């Protein structure tokens, strides 16, 4: 007679099952302490951002560009870890990529540009995917709750904020990102900033809660050189409840940015 599964093994399978169901948001990966990061899966299907971002763009952006940054960052982290393994007290794997980018000057020069470009590329894309969601009916979306209030305090009203953010996105020269962040040096004040290439806002002590990717790879298949169209389409996809979740998530992680890092 076959044994009945014990309570303990039933519980264990249940936990494994629910853990598999509770999918992590892409931003949650960036605080892991490891030298091998994985490409997060997207919180929506490749087609689901249509009609604002087409399936072909999302596929190549995630499986091509984001995957390449992930692999190259891991290669750089592993090389750094391997070559420094003798210094047990300063192990790379004791810091997350986020902490490393926050203190980029501490990275030995030999690995710095690899980590800046590919580590930045990994983290920036994890954030980018996290704050969009499908909006096939073009519903109006605006921040509410505390973020909505802070936005009024900082920018007067939501449409002023949108206008300022759009202006930054259209005026950025070359490739980069525009961010809305909390400035940890100004008591969490909301700030709009730009970064070029794959630089991250962490170097400036900003905790990003919203980001648009304005590299041409983010829109060229659909819009060719029409960046304004990419920006106006993207506003439809911004998911303000995800932005608020990310904002709350950072509040729980403030300790990561204390000086003793
Ligand atoms: Mn990109």
> pLDDT at residue 260 above 50?
no
| pLDDT of res. 2 | 46
**What are the tokens at 176?**
């980069």
At residue 7 the predicted structure's pLDDT band, cuts being 50, 70 and 90, is: low
For ligand 1, the distance from its centroid to the CA atom of residue 156, given in whole angstroms, is 30
| 141-195 pLDDT, tens digit each | 999 999 999 999 999 999 999 999 999 999 999 999 999 999 988 989 999 999 9
Ligand 1 mean position, distance from CA 177 (Å): 9
Rounded CA-CA distance 133/41 in Å is: 14
State mean pLDDT over 35-52.
97
Residue with tokens 């962040």: 181
User: How many angstroms is it from 171 CA to the middle of ligand 1?
Assistant: 18
Alpha-carbon distance of 56 to 134, in angstroms, equals 16
Percent of the chain with pLDDT over 90: 75
Checking if the pLDDT of 256 tops 70, the result is no
Give the dihedral of Cα atoms 164, 169, 172, 175; nearest 10 deg: 160
Q: What is the pTM of this model?
A: 0.89
What the block records as the tokens of 193 is 């900033």
Task: Yes or no: say if 208 and 177 are a contact pair by the CB < 8 Å rule.
Answer: no
Question: pLDDT at residue 86 above 70?
Answer: no
In the chain the domains, ranked by start, together with CATH numbers, are 145-260 (3.55.40.20)
Distance, CA 169 to ligand 1 centroid (Å)? 14
């Amino acid at each position: 007679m076959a044994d009945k599964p014990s309570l303990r093994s039933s519980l264990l399978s249940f936990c494994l099952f629910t853990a598999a169901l509770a999918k992590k948001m892409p931003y949650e990966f960036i605080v892991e302490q490891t030298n091998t990061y994985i490409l997060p899966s997207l919180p929506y299907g490749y087609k689901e951002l249509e009609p604002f971002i087409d399936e072909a763009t999302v596929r190549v952006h995630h499986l091509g560009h984001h995957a390449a940054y992930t692999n190259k960052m891991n290669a750089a982290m592993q090389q750094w870890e391997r070559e420094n393994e003798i210094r047990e007290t300063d192990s790379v794997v004791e810091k997350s990529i986020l902490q490393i980018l926050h203190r980029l000057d501490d990275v030995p020069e030999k690995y710095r540009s690899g980590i800046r470009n590919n580590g930045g590329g990994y983290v920036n894309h994890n954030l980018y995917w996290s704050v969009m969601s499908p909006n096939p009916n073009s519903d109006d979306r605006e921040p509410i709750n505390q973020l909505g209030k802070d936005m009024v305090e900082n920018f007067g009203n939501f449409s002023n904020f949108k206008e300022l953010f759009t202006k930054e996105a259209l005026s950025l020269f070359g490739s980069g990102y525009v961010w809305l962040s909390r400035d940890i040096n100004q008591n969490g004040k909301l700030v709009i900033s730009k970064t070029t290439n794959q630089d991250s806002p962490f170097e400036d002590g900003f905790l990003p809660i919203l980001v648009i990717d304005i590299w041409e790879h983010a829109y060229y298949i659909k819009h060719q050189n029409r960046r304004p169209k990419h920006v106006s389409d993207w506003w439809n996809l911004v998911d303000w409840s995800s932005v608020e979740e990310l904002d709350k998530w950072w509040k729980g992680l403030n300790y990561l940015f204390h000086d003793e890092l």
